[in-house]
Amino acid sequence: MMAFIRPRLRKPLGIAVAGTVFAAAWALRGGTAWQLSVAMEVTVLVSAVTAYVRAGEDNDEGALTGSRADERQELLSLRSRALGWNFAMVAAFIGVTAGVAVKAIWWWPFLVILAVTGFGYLLGLSNYGVAEEGTADDTDTGHQVRSPASS
Amino acid sequence: MRNRVREQRTQQGLSQAELAAALGVSRQTVISIESGRYLPSLPLAFAIARFFGLTVDKMFDPDEEEAGT
């Protein structure tokens, strides 16, 4: 489906759609929340237009926003996201620990974040490598299998 | 790791943008490779070497440190 959308439009459209859904959720609350919903939608549209403009810039951020990143820029994005998840895990751990310590009722959302990030990490290990280790091709030759770390 | 990307590029009279377009990467990535801040993947290293008609070990020398790093 994404192939039908121009690369430069993908992220701005994603921002617009996700933001509009979130703004609609506020509107559904009823009462005076519709005012917040309208303000949120305006902010979302401004953000989407800003993302579209930035996607045209000749720099790393522009390439990532414009969905035309090369291998170095993809690596940059991957490392940044990994750092973000690390921060989220540390913040969630601090939150759940503090919540438990003060007998608060808000400790469990932090536990959910911690569980999701931990599960995501294990899923990553499973998908991207651990399951593909295979066996050494010299297991039945009588030679000792050497680890690169010990050589 | 020292590489000869800048040397080869300037010898052929190419700009960083032209080399980037030929390799299918960004200009910023060519700059990073030339300065030694980024080590390219094996496929990209082969693409660079082939582009200049050299072997990978002639293009990238693991025994020499990049100047200024």
Look up the pTM and report it.
0.80
Residue A48 has pLDDT above 60, yes or no: yes
At position A112, the amino acid (one-letter code) is V
Q: Residue-wise pLDDT tens for chain B (69 aa)?
A: 899 999 999 999 999 999 999 999 999 999 999 999 999 999 999 999 999 999 999 999 887 665 544
Tokens of B61: 């020398």
Per-residue pLDDT, averaged over A12-24, amounts to 96
Q: B-chain residues within 8 Å CB-CB of A63?
A: 26, 28
Q: In terms of CA atoms, which chain B residue is nearest residue A61?
A: B28
Residue predicted with more confidence, A148 or A45: A45
Closest-approach residue (CA) in chain A for B30: A72
- Nearest Cα of chain A lies from the Cα of B30 at a distance, in angstroms, of 10
Q: What is the dihedral of CA A44, A50, A54, A56, to 10 degrees?
A: 100
User: Considering only CA atoms, which of B69, B56, B61 is closest in space to residue B3?
Assistant: B61
How large is the ipTM?
Answer: 0.87
pLDDT at A69 over 90: yes
Residues of B in contact with A57 (CB under 8 A): none
* Structure confidence at residue A151 (pLDDT): 44
Among chain A residues, the shortest Cα distance to B20 is held by A70
Q: Which residue has the tokens 């489906």?
A: A1
Confidence (pLDDT) at A138: 61
Give the separation between CA A53 and CA A50, rounded to whole angstroms: 5
